[in-house]
A and B are shown apart, each in its own frame.
Chain A
Amino acid sequence: MANPLRREVVRLYKNLLYLGREYPQGSTYFRERLKASFMKNKDVTDPEKIKKLVAKGDFVIKELEAMYYLRKYRTLKKRYYDPEK
């Protein structure tokens, strides 16, 4: 793999791994799937394809951040703001 892209991919993997600690179904579950999905693409050499996959990974990061925020928001809303029915 081209050198700067390798750094991007490793950076992406580390960031996703860090985010996966809070995954609702467990960090081990997340880590297994993360590794599997990275391994599935390990033979990709075309830099354009790699950039696309990294962009997809960045998108997943944003999705996870949004999910964590919504989960926290909804818990707080339910606990403090929704009147008991």
Chain B
Amino acid sequence: MQIYKSGVVTDGVKHSMNPFCEIAVEEAVKLKEKKLIKEVVAVSCGPQQAQETIRTALAMGADRGIHVEVTGKDYEHLGPLQVSKIFAALAKKEEAQLVILGKQAIDDDCNQTGQMTAALLDWPQGTFASEVTLEGDKIKVVREIDGGLETIKINTPAVVTADLRLNTPRYATLPNIMKAKKKKIANMKPADLGVDVAPRLEVLKVEEPPQREAGVKVETVEDLVARLKDTGRI
């Protein structure tokens, strides 16, 4: 991994679907297999390579894909705010009843896109979901929170973000990838959705964390006290 002053170099690095989003796709496909939802649409925002991620989602069982093309400088500065604006616009356009995504992306660890999308749509949200049950026109979500588990019931349409223990995502095997080639991926730009992807944040610097210094072992309590005095700690 190379770190330059303003970010991590990603050219030529193999990209794959965010693990939490894999869990989200799996949940959506499971709901469709239980015949509780009609259609699963997989969406990704980014350059050409994003299409491969959409293909993986189609191989897992999504019905069709939408690729929102964002390239170059726009892509470098693409963050949760811009993505959630895109998702909100798409959710309205597609008349979606449920938007389900990973709780956070493991490259930026923002944990904001789901929440922002719900806010922009003025929809309820069930975040950090470890269990999702559709009950009529409501959704029961069991959430993983610091103190344990919280169960809430929210109206649809809603946004749900997937946590690690929601399910076990299936592997996109070769025969499924082949079958998925017949499924359609629509192409569009953020401008087509009326979304402005101008950045609101500027990255000042990116650095590696400081090296952890080795600890020192001492033989006696007297030694320890002496050391602490030496280094000015006491």
The answer for the CA separation of A61 and B175 in the assembled complex, in Å, is 13
Q: Are A76 and B173 in contact (CB under 8 A)?
A: no
A51 at the interface (CB under 8 A from B): no
The answer for the CA separation of A19 and B177 in the assembled complex, in Å, is 12
User: Digit string of A68-85 for contact with B (CB within 8 Å is 1, else 0)?
Assistant: 110011001101110000
Inter-chain contacts of B190 with A (CB < 8 A):
none
Inter-chain contacts of B171 with A (CB < 8 A):
19, 65, 68-69
CB nearest to A79 among chain B residues: B106
Main SS at interface, chain A: helix
User: How far does the Cβ of A48 sit from chain B's closest Cβ, in whole Å?
Assistant: 24
Main SS at interface, chain B: loop
Contact residues, A20-59 vs B (CB, 8 A): none
User: How far does the Cβ of B125 sit from chain A's closest Cβ, in whole Å?
Assistant: 20
Q: Are A76 and B19 in contact (CB under 8 A)?
A: yes
Q: Are A14 and B19 in contact (CB under 8 A)?
A: no
CB nearest to A72 among chain B residues: B19
B1 at the interface (CB under 8 A from A): no
B164 at the interface (CB under 8 A from A): yes
Q: A69-B169, A72-B19 are in contact. Are A80 and B164 (CB under 8 A)?
A: yes
Q: A72-B19, A76-B19 are in contact. Are A15 and B174 (CB under 8 A)?
A: yes
The answer for the CA separation of A79 and B20 in the assembled complex, in Å, is 13
The answer for the CA separation of A76 and B20 in the assembled complex, in Å, is 9
Inter-chain contacts of A15 with B (CB < 8 A):
173-175
Q: Name 15 A/B residue pairs within 8 A (Cβ), A-sorted.
A: A11-B175, A14-B174, A15-B173, A15-B174, A18-B173, A18-B174, A19-B173, A65-B173, A69-B168, A72-B19, A76-B19, A76-B106, A77-B164, A80-B164, A81-B164
Residues of A within 8 A of B (CB): 11, 14-15, 18-19, 61, 65, 68-69, 72-73, 76-77, 79-81
Give the top 9 A-B pairs by smallest Cβ distance, nearest first: A18-B174, A65-B171, A15-B174, A76-B164, A72-B19, A76-B19, A14-B174, A69-B168, A15-B173
Residues of B within 8 A of A (CB): 19-20, 106, 164, 168-171, 173-175, 177
18 A-B pairs besides A65-B173, A76-B19 with CB distance below 8 A are A14-B174, A15-B173, A15-B174, A18-B173, A18-B174, A19-B171, A19-B173, A61-B173, A65-B170, A65-B171, A68-B171, A69-B168, A72-B19, A76-B20, A76-B106, A76-B164, A79-B106, A80-B164
